[in-house]
Structure 1
Amino acid sequence: MNKVAEKMIFKPAFEYIDNGIEHGVLSPFETKETILKKGEQIAPGFKPLDCDIRYLKDVPVKMRDGITIYTDVFLPVTEEKVPVLIAWSPYGKSAGTAPRYVGLFNMLGMGNAWGSGLTKFEGPDPAYWVQHGYAVCNPDARGIAHSEGDITMIGSQEAEDCYDLIEWLAAQDWCNQKTALSGTSYLAFSQWFIAAGQPPHLTCISPTEGLQDAYRDLAYIGGIPDPNFIHRLQINHVSASGAQREDMAAELEAYPLANCELWEDKVADVSKITVPAYVVASYSNTLHTMGTFRAWRSIGSAEKWLRIHDTQEWPDYYSAEATEDLRRVFDYFLLGKQNGWENTPAVRYSILDFQGNNQTGLIAETFPPKESEMQRYYMSGRTRTLQVTADENELPLRYFPEALPCRVSFQTVFEKETTFIGYPKVKLFMEAENTDDMDVFVWVQKIDKLGNVLSEFVVPNRNAALQDFTQDGASALRYKGPSGRLRASARHLDPTLSTDEVPAYSFDRVEKLSEKEIVELDIVLSPIGMTYYAGETLRVMISSKDEIGSVMPGTPGGLTNNKGTHILHTGGKYASYLQMPLVK
């Protein structure tokens, strides 16, 4: 294990239930080679195989420190050497038919007929890719299931292990020495770390929506601790060999600031990535959007492409259109096909309107497009409107976290069609009364002519259960507009990373508020691509609670600590404002 493991907090891994059900019908351990036949159905409800597949099961691979991990490899039945796609995550390599994932995709309205059941959760479907001349490698990471060693979560240990796996794959007699990483969420953010390690035989990457910094994007979003979703992720840390697992929720308590070796190891240095990168993002993914766009801005790759879609990561990644688009990337870089991929526009983006008229596939050289210019909308405490000039006189507004309403808001009605594309933020001048800190949440809404707050489901299902889950939470499944959050004591800006357009925080100090002290809070909001029509309203809400709710169903959000009175100053020398990327 590498040196940073000395800083990690370990606890016993969860028990691996090897019954051929819990972790999928192909999960029972057996090192063997077999042929899966065309037309075979891996489990009820899944798509029959379109071709014969050579299946290498539970293949041992030795890491640089001597521990052995196990992987499954799916290959075309051919004498030709083929490239390989790798799905790196702690999710079980055989769990495509596991009840938890069958239930999840049914809940989302996707069903399971889109895939073969060989698919590792959030990874490429071997049945599709083998048919088109690729191998797919589904590893069980260090400590997971029957793989040896202790389980770590996000960072250099995983990057080193996948480096070793890539080099092992490239040396196999069936491989053409070209490899790529593919997948969404965990299988995307692992790619930033792995590619930054520059494995010699990594040819390209295709991260679809993945955080880039475990502190800023997962543990302490806006400086507010959030162990709940981490607990949910860590349930996947199951071992058949009595492994220990890194407990990031415990680390969150033990290491509250970002400037320590543990958290620094969990920031991917994407400037070190040199291979071509095809990055897929959305505006709506409350877990991954910020990290995906940050990584895109900072990535070192000379060849990079960005596609911003208008749904959720899973229905997009597995759609026929997105899969064919991804195959053009891999055909070009891994198979050497001259298919014109190199002429693909650098940026393809979407504009949403929450009324069924989304525009997708719009072309630009950069994001935001150069037509976007920053426009400030000042908050008027007197009229509760947003205006292009600030009120001359200062006016403070109070709201009370322990009473209703626990928020203040401002709005503007557009006289003509208005579009915003890019990076919004707010600058707030705030004061705390009878308390020394504040957790501040910001939400930019779209309201129709009749005063209805608009939102948009980004998964196919819109039934009553999904309405229940997403009304106050499950924000990854229903997009409600740009949002952001900040703990006031964590407001210090990182002078090397922060810009006027996109504030970035150092998270290396705690600066509590003193009585009567007015502080500046620059709060970064998630990127936007949105059209407001004539007569529609933009409302910005400043609140003491997370109004859009936690990321996924059944998982509580961050641990706020709000009390006392929050005072927002407007006008005069404390002219708080919303800054929006207006398309001129």
Structure 2
Amino acid sequence: MSTIDTRTTVEQGLVFERDVALAMADGTLLRANVFRPEAPGRYPVVMAMGAYGKDVHFEDAFHPQWQVLKRIYPGLDSEGSTGRYLRWEVVDPERWVPDGFVVIQVDARGTGRSEGYLDPFSPVETRDFYEWIEWAGTQPWSNGKVGLIGVSYLAIKQWQVAALRPPHLAAIVPWEGSSEFYRDGGHHGGILSNSFTFEWWPRQVLSNQYGSGESTHRDRLTGERTTGPAFSPAMLEGSRADHPNDRLTHALDDAWNRARAANLAAIEVPLLSAANWGGAGMHLRGNFEGFLRAGSARKWLFAHIGTHYESFYLPRYVAIQKRFFNHFLRGEDNGWEREAPVQLAIRQVDGTATLRQENEWPLARTQWTPLYLDAAQAGLDSAVPAAPAQRGFGALQESLSFTTAPFEQETEFTGPVTLRLWISSSTRDADIFAVLRVLDPEGNEVNFIGAHERVPMAQGWLRASHRKTDPSRAIGWRPWHTHDEVQALEAGAVYALEVEIWPTSMVFPKGWRLSLTVQGHDFIVTPPGRMRHDHPVDRPPEAFGGVTTIHTGGAHASHLVMPLIPRR
């Protein structure tokens, strides 16, 4: 029997219902906070479900990020909002309720004040979200239209649940959120992305597990522990999955991973997919793939720059979010349908960007341009090298770089990139980390503010034993790796690889150069790096610590396929 009661307060026209409980189909009680206008009426609902605690203040759980955001946006908790209800990666109720929205924040099963077995991104959790959407769509204060909005975890859940087609779901705004569970987050090119998962799990999820008596999180408004009652360590351990180990042991795109991947083709509701060019290793690919592959007839793609969280809260972006929802949740004729379906922040080398409207992705006018690697000269050029060459590097310590001549005119690359690479290895496998870098006229590298850390222009990954592709799912400029079997290498034999490099945008001034770095370990701008791939079980030295040789020219004409955008 639940001992957590719903409490209601009313202040300055905002009704706050804390710990609203809803029994799921299996009887498990999940709880949410509901914020709605005091004035009677039927309002559209914007909703999110996540694992970070609906009662944990943004500043308490993510203090460094809070400080960065406050520097960028000093009025975050003083201009139009007290900030008392600010939570990580969800909308601020004080900025939405006055404009006639109901805001609902749900603690996912087994987290915060919600009971049950904690299993992130699982089908059960997704079904819970479906039930909450249908509940919200039938309440007396609801107009029957529910929109979903949130960042990261809260965006991933949107892709997943939208594919189930809840009848009252009317639109989604997945802001920086993976859509392909295996490829976008867990395994990049088949390589385990372990550092985020193994650090995220205890710091951001277990600290919010329902029943955690050791959690330091307290509700600022009540002083109560945000995780409900205190259970024994044995009870807590038995009430959750071992998510990091699940990621580790499901090394192929198997049924476990597929059960957590969104069925994008089944999504029908209008969507606004917001991608971050600096989201290397987390979410970036998912927002582009989600836009491309979603079955929705009405869909928009926005690509921005900056940190993972700043754009979501900045007033100009909040205005975009509200305008989208006002159209699809209220039927407001505000011109949204006439917005260009693709809007891209075209990046400059100084870290700024210019917003440009486009009609499709990738851009129809793209000139897919090969740049050939030359192992003899360390060059990158539009001409195939005159003679075959090869060069090796120690996979776990060294790298090889290939660089263009200075560009003779301003040159823009915007789109996805493919590296077609011939390699051999002294061991039974090899991991390829492919990095596009920007060099100024003096040869100095320029890097950029990323979602979580400073990043190069673009990155891609591929485990050589995962080189198998499905041509029926490839789209010229983007290969599709099946990740359904391990094809070990024969030492010394030459193999062709197609390395998917995630979407990018960059305008090179005259005299600047593009460089491709290939190595067998993480490329980190600012140590220790947040998105690492260095788990010893996934990457045993005897398999991945050999010498990798790149072959160029002749029958092994390794090359990049770059998305050159002609000058207007």
- Which residue of structure 1 lines up, in the alignment, with residue 271 of structure 2? 277
- Equivalent position to 1:56, from 8, 12, 17: 17
The within-5 A match list for 1:100-499 is 100-107=61-68, 109-110=71-72, 113-115=75-77, 116-235=83-202, 236-237=205-206, 238-240=209-211, 242-243=235-236, 244-259=239-254, 261-286=255-280, 287-360=282-355, 362-401=356-395, 405-433=398-426, 435-458=427-450, 476-499=452-475
Distance 2:242 2:169 in 1: 30
1:187-234 alpha-carbon deviations (Å, 9 max, x no partner): 111100010000000010011111112221222111112232112332
**Kept in 2: contact 1:105–1:112 (CA 8 A):** no
Change (3 A) 1:402 1:348: closer
**Deviation of residue 378 (structure 1)?**
0.6
Structure 1 residue corresponding to 2:476, chosen from 480, 486, 500: 500
Q: What is the DSSP-based 3-state SS (H/G/I as helix, E as strand, rest coil) of the residue aligned with 1:370?
A: coil
User: Aligned pair 1:31/2:6, yes or no?
Assistant: yes
Aligned counterparts of 2:67 and 2:529: Cα–Cα separation in 1? 14
How big is the alpha-carbon RMSD for the aligned residues of Structure 1 and Structure 2? 2.0
Q: Deviations for 1:428-482, whole angstroms, at most 9, x for unmatched residues? A: 100002x111111111111111111011225xxxxxxxxxxxxxxxx73323111
**Per the alignment, in what secondary structure is the counterpart of residue 148 of structure 2?**
strand
List aligned pairs for 1:560-571, cutoff 5 A. 560=539, 561=541, 562-571=544-553
Q: Report the secondary structure of 1:217's partner residue.
A: helix
Equivalent residue of 1:313, what SS?
coil
**Following TM superposition, by how much is the alpha carbon of 1:317 offset from its aligned partner in structure 2, in angstroms?**
0.7
Counterpart residue type for residue 529 of structure 1:
S
| Structure 2 gap segments, 5+ residues each | 78-82, 212-230
Gaps in structure 1 of 5+ consecutive residues: 1-27, 39-51, 459-474
Tell me the SS of whatever aligns to 2:50: coil
| Count of matched residue positions in the alignment of Structure 1 and Structure 2 | 523
The separation in 2 between residues aligned to 1:376 and 1:406, in whole angstroms, is 22
Change (3 A) 1:446 1:550: closer
The aligned runs of 1:66-81 (5 Å cut-off) are 66-81=27-42
| Residues 316-353 of structure 1 deviation map (CA, whole Å, 9 limit, x = unaligned) | 11010000011111111112221111111111112112
One-letter code of the match for 1:409?
F
Aligned partner of 2:563 in structure 1 is 581
Shift of 1:504: 1.6
Q: Following TM superposition, by how much is the alpha carbon of 1:556 offset from its aligned partner in structure 2, in angstroms?
A: 4.7
Aligned AA (2:267)? I
Which sits farther off after the overlay, 386-395 or 190-199?
386-395
- Aligned-partner SS, 1:161: helix
Secondary structure at 2:507's aligned position in 1?
strand
Which of the numbers 517, 521, 544 marks the counterpart of 2:520? 544
Q: Structure 2 CA distance, aligned partners of 1:343 and 1:224?
A: 41
For the structure 1 residues 563 and 557, does the alpha-carbon distance in structure 2 shift closer, same or farther, using more than 3 Å as the test? Answer: closer
Q: Pick from 496, 502, 508: which aligns with 1:520?
A: 496
Q: Partners of 2:438 and 2:195 in 1: how far apart?
A: 29
Cα 1:208/1:421, change in 2 over 3 Å: same
- Shift in CA distance, 520/302, structure 1 to aligned 2, threshold 3 Å: same
**Structure 2 CA distance for partners of 1:284 and 1:368, relative to 1, 3 Å:** same
Q: Hey, what's the Cα distance between the residues in 2 that align with 1:357 and 1:85?
A: 31
Identity among equivalent positions (%) equals 28
Shift of 1:102: 3.3
Q: Judging changes above 3 Å, is the alpha-carbon distance between structure 1 residues 346 and 117 closer, same or farther for their aligned structure 2 residues?
A: same
The one-letter code sitting in structure 2 at the alignment partner of 1:78 is A
Alpha-carbon distance in structure 1 between the residues aligned to 2:133 and 2:396? 53
Correspondence for 1:18: none
1:402 is displaced (CA, Å) by 5.0
Q: Is the 8 A contact 2:49 2:129 kept in 1?
A: yes
Aligned to 1:20: none
Question: Per the alignment, do residues 555 and 510 of structure 1 end up closer, same or farther by CA in structure 2, a change over 3 Å counting?
Answer: closer
Change (3 A) 1:54 1:268: same
Q: Which amino acid aligns with 1:213?
A: E
Residue pair 1:377, 1:577 contacting (<8 A) in 2 also: yes
Q: Secondary structure at the match of 2:323?
A: helix
State TM-score, norm by structure 2.
0.88
Give the AA of the match of 2:422. Answer: F
Paired with 2:74 and 2:154, the residues of 1 have a C-alpha distance of: 20
Which stretch shows the higher mean deviation, 552-561 or 81-90? 552-561
- Do 2:342 and 2:357's aligned partners in 1 also have CA atoms closer than 8 Å? yes
- 1:96 Cα deviation from its structure 2 partner: 2.3
Task: Answer whether contact 1:155 1:193 (CA < 8 A) is retained.
Answer: no
Cross-structure match for 1:14: none
- The answer for the alignment partner of 2:486 in structure 1 is 510
Greater Cα shift, 407-416 or 216-225: 407-416
Query: Secondary structure of the equivalent of 1:478?
Result: coil
Deviations 1:343-398 (A, max 9, x none): 111111121122145212x0111022222120000111222211212124211111
Check whether the contact 1:69–1:147 (CA below 8 A) recurs between aligned residues. yes
Provide the residue aligned with 1:16 in structure 2.
none
Change (3 A) 1:551 1:501: farther
| CA deviation profile, 1:123-182 (whole Å, cap 9, x unmatched) | 111110001000100111111133121012114222210110011111211111111000
Aligned-partner residue type, residue 228 of structure 1: S
**1:531, 1:98 → 2: CA distance?**
36
Residue 105 (structure 1) shift: 1.5
Amino acid at match of 1:239: Y
User: What SS does the corresponding residue of 1:54 show, helix, strand or coil?
Assistant: strand
Is contact 1:228-1:556 (8 Å) kept?
Answer: yes
| Cα distance, 1:549 vs structure 2 | 5.7
Q: How much has 1:521 moved relative to structure 2?
A: 1.1
